Structure formats: C-alpha cells, structure tokens
Amino acid sequence: FDTVTGIGLNCAWKRINGKDYWYEGGKRQGYDPNNAAYRGKEIYDPASNGWYWLDNVQQGAKAVSKDVYQESSGGKWVRYDANGQMIKGWNTNENGTYYFDPVTGAMAKGTTTIDGMTYYFDPATGVKR
C-alpha cells in the first residue's frame, strides 16, 4: 500500500489534506474528472456499518453535514451527518424536525405514517409541520 496515493487500499478510508476518501481495489472512488454529469457515489463501509456519500464536487471526498439528492431507485433526498454517515430515523436541526427512512435513509415528505402515528412533512423541504 502506497501511503501517499492510497494505491493498494481496498474498502478503506484515507485522509488526504483533511478530507476522507474511499478506496476500492486500490482506486479512489466517487470522482470522475472526465464526466461533468457525474454526481458522486454512495458507499457502504462495513467497519462502521454505515452509508456514506462520496461527493464529486469535492473530488470524491466524503460529504459531511450535507443533504444529497440521489437519482437512483426513483430518487430520494438523504442527509449525511457531521461524520459523513447517512442519517436514519428522526433528526432535528436549526431548520426543524425531519424523518429519514430507517432502511433507505429517504427523507419523509407529505403525509407519512411512522410507528402507527400519522405525521405531515412539508412536500418541498421535509420539515415536520
């Protein structure tokens, strides 16, 4: 394993200049400099049992404290916390209270039943009303 380039790392994080990058098969993931439409990549880290977003805008660095729209599987908004891990369940921040599906991490919008209770979330922002 090359400590400078990360070549040789497999399914592991490498910190470079204060940002965390994910390597698979010795290659940095989540960035394609030749494809302007490339948005990034969602990855699963078995060591932390968590999902993370590799942000193309940051050249594949782990996204932190960020909402991301993922187009796959019909599209969903998800949120990543200050450590970069996908939020699941209830979440409150300065903008309000939100709910994220405990399996997919998708932000609830509109009328949603959670544990037998009905809640209404703003259809645009996802804030609980």
Q: What residues does each domain of the chain span? A: 34-121
pLDDT at 104 over 70: yes
User: How far lies 75's CA from each of 38, 69, 99, 120, in Å?
Assistant: 15, 7, 16, 20
**Quick one: pLDDT at residue 87?**
97
For residue range 77-89, what is the model confidence (pLDDT) as tens digits?
Answer: 999 999 999 999 9
pLDDT of the residue at 48: 92
pLDDT higher than 90, residue 35: no
pLDDT of residue 51: 94
Comparing CA positions, the residue from 32, 114, 39, 33 lying closest to residue 75 is: 39
Q: Which CATH architecture does the domain made up of 34-121 adopt?
A: Ribbon (2.10)
CA distance 102 to 9: 30
Give residue 8's pLDDT. 65
pLDDT at 12 over 70: yes
pTM here is 0.82
Indicate the burial class of 5 (C-beta count within 10 angstroms; 0-12, 13-18, 19 or more): middle
**pLDDT greater than 90 at residue 74:** no
